[in-house]
Amino acid sequence: MSMFGMGLGRPQSDYDENKINAIKGEMLMVSAMKDKMTNICYEKCVPPHYSENDLNKGESNCVDRCAAKFFETIKIVGSELQKQAAQQ
């Protein structure tokens, strides 16, 4: 089975159009979150005027921590939203 629940070897006509649209929407959402995280962490960790081709150790550590916090926040918010949806 592939990453998005579409098994290999099945003809395309077997796929539900709603499922395909849901997968496309999820892919767009993941891409948007990655772009947002990149922009936030870049603005926070990389100075506007840099002279080196690569990140220095401090910048690299900052980006790593920023990305980890971003994903942890997404995880916590997702859990809370699931709890609220289950209570309704």
User: Tens digit of pLDDT for each residue in 36-86?
Assistant: 999 999 999 999 887 888 999 999 999 999 999 999 999 999 899 999 989
Q: Is the pLDDT of residue 5 over 60?
A: no
d(CA 48, CA 26): 32
pLDDT number for residue 11: 56
Query: What CATH number belongs to 15-48+55-87?
Result: 1.10.287.810
Between 29 and 6, name the one with better pLDDT. 29
pLDDT at 49: 87
**How high is the pLDDT of residue 1?**
45
pLDDT at 19 over 60: yes
